[in-house]
Structure 1
Amino acid sequence: MPEPLTRAVRWDTVVGALLIVLSLLSFGCVDGFGNALNLSFLLGNTLPIALIALPMTLLVVSGDVDLSVASTAGLSGAVLGRLWNEGLAIQTIIPLCLLLGVACGLVNGLLVTRLGLPSLAVTIGTLAAYRGIAQIVLGSDTVTDFPPQYLDFAAGRIGDSFLPRAFPLFLVLLALAAVVLHATPFGRSLYAIGAGEEAARFAGIRVRRTKLVLFVATGFMSALTGVFWALHYASARYDNATGLELSVVAAVLLGGIDFDGGRGTIGGALAGVFLLGALQNVMSLLDVSAQSQTVVTGVLLVVSVLGPRLARRFAVARRPA
């Protein structure tokens, strides 16, 4: 099979093409999609998914998953609101929230790597636990009176453009994740672990330590997302980011990251994130109900698991014997 055609049937290439087609159709056919306010709204709403998708991509490539990310983000936002109400300076609160995220990721990582528990079961448990702690911390209160300069950074735009002020920070984190996964021995070790954990261990890769680092990084980014969420929407509540884990996992898998590990790219994950974000934005502009949008996300989650497998089978079937 010719190399260009082989590349064309790669799932991440398909998703990138779908993103381009959806964008072109939306600019041409959906009223209001192309104005600066809506594009800024789209990017601002997609950034929480994109931030968590970066470490989640690395984690899924290694063969694990963290379903507690939304609850960690909610807990981070709840602590932000509670400490702000207690009178602490926000410059002190934000590092504390990030350290809390590190602690949440460390708990997940230790349960998985030291006790040998499956990450799916562990993080379903901590999903409930962290959300419960968030409710204890903040109760039913809503905190909104954060410093204007922080609210403007999280929700404002760069000059007259549609780009959010926080977008350059995301680009830095994106570049860091891409370099780590695709241009370092650490990234290559993640593919090796995902392809075969025992073989990676025999090859000298420190599997448990590597996975622990990934869970800690995911907890850190989830807490950062929780802070961003509270400031972007000017609202710290215990139920912030509820259901975000579904969008993150759907976007990552939609981008061609194999749930079994060992396959995937940051570029594919990014395409999946923005395809999902653009689709949700278009559905909102077309007055599609929130329940229907959830159904679409669920369907995409199924497609994202089935699609890459079909694409690989097609590519294998077309190879010369």
Structure 2
Amino acid sequence: MDIKTTIPPPFTPSYVPYMYKGENVKGAFGAGTRPDFVRASDRAYFDAGVTRDDLRQLFIAMDLFDTGAGMKLVGDFNYGNIKARPGQSGRAAFDKVEKSNDGYANYASHADFARAKLRLIQKPLWRVNLATDSPSDIIDKIVGNPANAWGTLLSDAARRALETGKGIEQLSPTVGRYEGERDRVMRYRAQGIFDISRARQKMYAEKLTPIARQVGQYMAGGDPNVVYTPAFERTATPVEPPVVPPIRPMDPSAPTVPEQPTLVQAPKPLTKEAFDVLAFTRNMKVRLLNGHEYPIEAVDFELREVKYYNDNDAPIWVSVKRIAAVV
């Protein structure tokens, strides 16, 4: 794994007024400010201690996915929708997938949020190692963990359909370019994915890859061609075709077999039925089975024979059994 460390320049963004359920939310970004959000996040994560370019790119992509590049906040400066701890300041919001109404934490600044997110990602349950794990490893650990996944992503109905194959037709269909749960579950099952942990890993990697490529265009040291792949696809062993040994080992001293000529199917003789329906004319030729052609001089319809003169100018009558075609 090629680890790069680039120091992002300081960046001070401009925030816009934003309200959620009648309350002012601090730290919101306006429309068309995605590059500013990326640059501000890049510096915030660096100041929080993330020196690896690939990890900053992943974390920024996650935040962009969670809050639309800081445009849809619930908690102050909470770009990752981190839920508030007991006693921590926050705002409640209903999650239609989780069907919860938990509070989302308020933070004092972008850097304050970045430090909180790093603490969350490094919780012992997920066993994330920011020094050695690749971005795909981190996705596997925090999203695929069956005990406490990062975001539900799939509804309970989709999960049951994925695992049992029942109720797929009742899931939401694809609308426009947004893949519905019905088509996603069918696609995952066709790929051999039948458990929610792998489905979360696959889905989150698919969603984050194009977002991270956008992030890579604006951040310091970003990779605009990054691809996130779940572990079960990265470590899959390709199936090699079986090697069939020869029936008998070849003797090195055995004489080599000379190259054989290519066999060509010989032409078949003209059938009696085909001969009987021919309308002979003076300009027709007979083509023999040996490939030679001669002008037809006479025809005996009863015996099904034609007359021609050979190269020695001798008259020859040939039966239909020796005729390949009449042309």
Kindly indicate which of the two structures has a greater share of residues assigned to strand: 2
Higher relative contact order by CA 8 Å / sep ≥ 6: 1 or 2? 1
- Structure with higher Rg: it is 2
- Of Structure 1 and Structure 2, which has the larger fraction of its residues in helix? 1
Question: Common fold, TM-score beyond 0.5?
Answer: no
- TM score, norm. by length of structure 2: 0.28
